[in-house]
Structure 1
Amino acid sequence: MTRLTDRALRLTVFIGESDTWHHKPLYSEIVHRAHAAGLAGASVFRGIEGFGGSSLIHTSRLLSLSEDLPIAVVIVDTESRVRAFLPQLDELVTEGLVTLDDCEVMRYTSREDAPGGTDGKGKKSL
């Protein structure tokens, strides 16, 4: 395996678990659109406690179970590809927080994913 490093942009979308887009979970719509846009990857993380613009604390503790726990959708790709995806988020995210962070990606790739190669599915790697 070869160790590679590269500069990238991390996009994080903070929303609520109950947020929807056309009766589907909003986080799922974001992930599917990121996939359709050919972004390198997206992950959804469910928080156990948090608050946002409403100042209401949402928690997973037994005595105060919330149906609206915090969700973070994280997408990492090149700056140009992430920025090209932002207009879709403008359409989807009406309440929430969207952040962008420069980051350094450390990748471990197989022999098939040598520099300039594909990810094994025909897509160019980061």
Structure 2
Amino acid sequence: MTTLNGPARRLTIYLGESDTWQHKPTYTEIVHRAHAAGLAGASVLRGIEGFGTSQRIHTSRLLSLSEDLPVVVVIVDTAEKVDAFLPVIDELVTEGLVTLDDVSVRVHRFRGPTGAPSDGEQ
């Protein structure tokens, strides 16, 4: 596992929950491809309310409008690894918004193979 420390890049993909890639949710395909590409990690966040270019508000508060809630996929890794992954995003995201931000990683800790906390030093 690579530890991130200092400069990094955040890739954020805004999708609809119902967006699909070959009959699977697009967000699932992004996560699986990010894992296969060896990226540091990916998180999928489900929104409770939002709107996009259609200007239609989607909300979980009203049953009739709870379809296609917003979903955000966030990936943080080195600029080089994120940039190398962008062609995958270009292939998978047919609708949505993709943003890139340069960020500074302050803390990146995870559990090592023994289950003990690690700072990534191996």
Q: TM-score range by the shorter chain?
A: 0.7 to 0.9
**Aligned-residue offset at 1:60:** 0.5
The answer as to 2:40 corresponding to 1:40 is yes
Structure 1 match to 2:66: 66
- Between the aligned partners of 1:113 and 1:46, the Cα distance in structure 2 is 29
Structure 1 match to 2:23: 23
- Between the aligned partners of 1:24 and 1:70, the Cα distance in structure 2 is 16
Q: Deviations over 1:24-56 (max 9, x none)?
A: 111000000000000000000000111111111
Q: Deviations over 1:84-103 (max 9, x none)?
A: 00000110001000000111
Moved more, 35-44 or 102-111: 102-111
The answer as to 2:83 corresponding to 1:83 is yes
> Is there any run of 5+ residues in structure 1 with no aligned partner, and where?
118-126
- Between the aligned partners of 1:95 and 1:48, the Cα distance in structure 2 is 19
Letter aligned with residue 67 of structure 1? E
- Between the aligned partners of 2:30 and 2:69, the Cα distance in structure 1 is 17
Superposition misfits of 4+ residues, deviation over 6 angstroms: none
Moved more, 39-48 or 52-61: 52-61
Letter aligned with residue 57 of structure 2? I
> Is there any run of 5+ residues in structure 2 with no aligned partner, and where?
110-116
- Between the aligned partners of 2:17 and 2:119, the Cα distance in structure 1 is 38
Checking the alignment, whether the CA contact within 8 Å between 2:51 and 2:57 is kept in structure 1 is yes
The answer as to 2:102 corresponding to 1:102 is yes
**Aligned-residue offset at 1:67:** 1.7
Letter aligned with residue 92 of structure 2? L
Normalising to structure 1: TM-score of the pair? 0.82
